[in-house]
């Protein structure tokens, strides 16, 4: 039965790399000095066809609520607007998650559980302009049927998962949308069957490095599943070079094999990530 975190915890898996084993050892030795940072979609939430239906795995919040009081900090670092991740995650008002931080829009936004408020940057004028142009532009370039535009406030994203051939639609739209983004001073952020036009100036690597420095953590765990998580992986590498041990966890999928190739620990999607977090919490 899997009715409580205790019922599904097991022995911690061993990372496949020396750096990862050192990272896990440091986390187990100094949990109160450890920063835990986690991606949302594909890591804490299963991938679903409709982005508005994504929700945290049912065991994610219970596992995090046990883990968070034992470590220096838990942060969710996501491409979603922070408020959306908080809502879809069910992260607000949870005992144990009283100090949770959600860094939205790749670190441009910050929500914290203490204040319950989102701090967001000024809107980028290029997003408004690109949003207005996008429907006509997609018609003009003969975009395939089934694509869907996600309004994200500080960004706009084009999803191909519900096209007849999602990968072909992604490939066909990538260059034209990169041109549109550049014309409006934006960057194109590719993800799992999604192409997002967003302001430049931040990424999950900067968000993670700033967060770790801000907490004064002496060890770090980062888990992600998508291309947007690669800068965070690179940030953990850089922290390791500065003497901060780290553990890189991949929530694996065939859609983003690049992550598994870079990770210390490869887990089979959000349910395995959540099980790992519960096991870790149990061991600390
Ligand atoms: O940084 P993340 O938390 O991983 O967010 C990245 C993007 O996630 C969402 O899209 C992805 O998940 C959807 C729901 O499972 C799925 O339908 C889509 O194909 C995925 O790309 C979200 O909609 C985006 O805004 C995020 O940037």
Q: Write the pLDDT tens digit of every residue in 227-267.
A: 999 999 999 999 999 999 999 999 999 999 999 999 999 99
The yes-or-no verdict on residue 103 having pLDDT over 70 is yes
Catalytic residues: 39
Using 50, 70 and 90 to split pLDDT, how confident is the model at 1?
very low
The yes-or-no verdict on residue 41 having pLDDT over 70 is yes
The residue range of the domain holding 112 is 5-121+202-283
Span from the CA of 51 to the centroid of ligand 1 (angstroms) = 6
Query: Which pair of structure tokens corresponds to residue 69?
Result: 């009081």
Find residue 265's DSSP bridge partners: 249
Same structural domain, 113 and 244:
yes
The yes-or-no verdict on residue 3 having pLDDT over 50 is no
Same structural domain, 89 and 30:
yes
CATH of the domain at 10: 3.40.50.1000
Instruction: Considering only residues 3 and 113, tell me which one the structure prediction assigns the higher pLDDT.
Output: 113
Same structural domain, 116 and 46:
yes
Span from the CA of 41 to the centroid of ligand 1 (angstroms) = 5
Of 152, 176, 198, which marks where a domain is finished?
198
Q: Is the pTM of this model over 0.90?
A: yes
Same structural domain, 32 and 56:
yes
Of 151, 183, 198, which marks where a domain is finished?
198
Ligand 1 pocket member 154 (CB < 6 A): no
Ligand 1 pocket member 79 (CB < 6 A): yes
In this predicted model, what pLDDT tens digit does every residue of 123-138 receive, in sequence order? Answer: 999 999 999 999 999 9
Same structural domain, 156 and 221:
no
Average pLDDT for 53-76: 98
Of 142, 174, 198, which marks where a domain is finished?
198
CATH of the domain at 137: 3.30.70.1020
Same structural domain, 144 and 108:
no
The yes-or-no verdict on residue 6 having pLDDT over 90 is no
Ligand 1 pocket member 104 (CB < 6 A): no
Same structural domain, 117 and 222:
yes
Same structural domain, 63 and 46:
yes
Same structural domain, 222 and 102:
yes
> What total of structural domains would you count in the chain?
2
Using 50, 70 and 90 to split pLDDT, how confident is the model at 4?
very low
Q: Give the whole-angstrom CA distance, residue 224 versus residue 76.
A: 10
Same structural domain, 112 and 219:
yes
Same structural domain, 51 and 181:
no
Span from the CA of 52 to the centroid of ligand 1 (angstroms) = 9
Same structural domain, 233 and 117:
yes
């Amino acid at each position: 039965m899997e009715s409580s975190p205790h019922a599904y915890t097991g022995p911690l898996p061993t990372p496949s790399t020396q750096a990862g084993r050192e990272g896990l050892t440091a986390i187990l030795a100094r949990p109160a000095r450890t920063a835990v940072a986690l991606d949302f979609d594909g890591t804490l939430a299963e991938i679903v066809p409709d982005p508005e239906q994504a929700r945290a795995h049912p065991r994610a919040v219970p596992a995090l609520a046990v883990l968070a009081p034992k470590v220096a900090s838990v942060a969710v670092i996501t491409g979603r607007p922070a408020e959306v991740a908080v809502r879809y995650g069910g992260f607000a008002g949870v005992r144990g998650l009283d100090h949770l931080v959600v860094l939205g829009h790749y670190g441009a936004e910050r929500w914290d559980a203490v204040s319950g408020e989102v701090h967001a940057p000024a809107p980028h004028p290029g997003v408004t302009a690109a949003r207005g142009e996008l429907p006509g532009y997609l018609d003009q370039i003969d975009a395939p049927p089934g694509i869907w535009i996600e309004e994200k406030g500080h960004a706009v994203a084009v999803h191909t998962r519900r096209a007849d051939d999602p990968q072909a639609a992604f490939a066909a739209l990538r260059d034209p949308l990169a041109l549109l983004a550049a014309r409006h001073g934006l960057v194109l952020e590719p993800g799992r069957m999604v192409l997002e036009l967003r302001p430049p100036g931040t990424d999950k690597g900067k968000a993670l490095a700033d967060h770790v420095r801000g907490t004064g953590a002496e060890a770090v765990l980062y888990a992600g599943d998508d291309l947007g998580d690669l800068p965070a992986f690179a940030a953990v590498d850089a922290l390791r070079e500065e003497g901060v041990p780290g553990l890189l966890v991949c929530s694996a999928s065939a859609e983003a094999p690049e992550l598994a190739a870079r990770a210390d620990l490869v887990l089979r999607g959000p349910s395995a990530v959540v099980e790992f977090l519960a096991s870790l919490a149990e061991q600390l």
